[in-house]
Chain A
């Protein structure tokens, strides 16, 4: 049974009690979906293809489902598409003998178990988090699963259970990915080094 998610963007959501059309729903989520896809692909054409595929699949297979389930279904489709794209890119990199970074995030990284040594003024950290370009750079550099967990939890407003359904993993994995994403964000935003700012997670473009 899929969890029912309240639309995040309340300003553009349909008035309470009125049925929402599929067109209205897609219009509401398309920009966030594109931004999410673009942070993974970093290519506008690929991001558009992925968003359109996700829209098509939602309309084709799930339009008869209750509209409360659409947000979660759409995010699950979108995340599956992004995972497929990511696997395809990894295979291509391996094919051309380039270093392919394992992004499963399931391995225990002892560095992440250590608390932040650098204490930064929280106000400064928040000020840096207001810089849109910098935030996107930091998020782009996160491993895919961390980025998915963070965007679903913090941006889409899903709870842990719904995020686990969208990512098709356990709730424990969601907590771990989210925790690591927060750690990486804090570390990257605390650091003023331009090289680290551009690629704090070390992910290859």
Chain B
């Protein structure tokens, strides 16, 4: 065995590693039925966790679709009725009085009165 961990391991070390790994692999055969059943249950739990999530996501997608079907027509109706206030706003702005115009008219009236007096 070399003293440098960065050197390739020797053939003897490789043999030892393979033998130990082989022993570990054989140790799996010694696992009892109860442990194997628990492992299988753990695996099913993990896999079913994905299924639950998928179902939940599917339900959420259906709910979102239904909500969209209900809400979109209502929004369309709201848009159609919401155009009328725009027209009223236009008329209102048209009828608004300009302060400058009022001042001009007042001045013209004053000029007219002074002409009459003279």
Contacts and interface: CB of A to CB of B under 8 A. Distances in A.
Chain A CB within 10 Å — which of B1, B5, B17 has the most?
B5
B47 interface: yes
A155 B61 CA distance: 44
B64 to A, nearest CB: 22
Contact of B21 (A59, A125, A154, A186): A154
Nearest to B47: A23
A199 to B, nearest CB: 18
Contacts of A125: 16
B9 interface: yes
Interface residues of A, number: 49
A109 B117 CA distance: 120
B31 interface: yes
Interface of chain A, helix or strand or loop or mixed?
helix
Interface in A25-57: 26-27, 30-32, 34-35, 44, 48, 51-52, 55-56
Contacts of A34: 31, 35, 39
Interface in B15-67: 15-28, 30-31, 35-36, 38-40, 42-43, 45-47, 49-50, 53
Interface in B58-111: none
Given A34-B35, A122-B12, A186-B1, A26 B47 contact: yes
A135 interface: yes
Given A35-B28, A154-B18, A155-B25, A59 B47 contact: yes
Contacts of B42: 30, 48, 51-52, 55
Interface of A: 22-23, 26-27, 30-32, 34-35, 44, 48, 51-52, 55-56, 58-60, 63, 113-116, 122, 125-126, 129-132, 135-136, 139, 150-151, 153-155, 172, 175-176, 178-180, 182-183, 185-186, 189
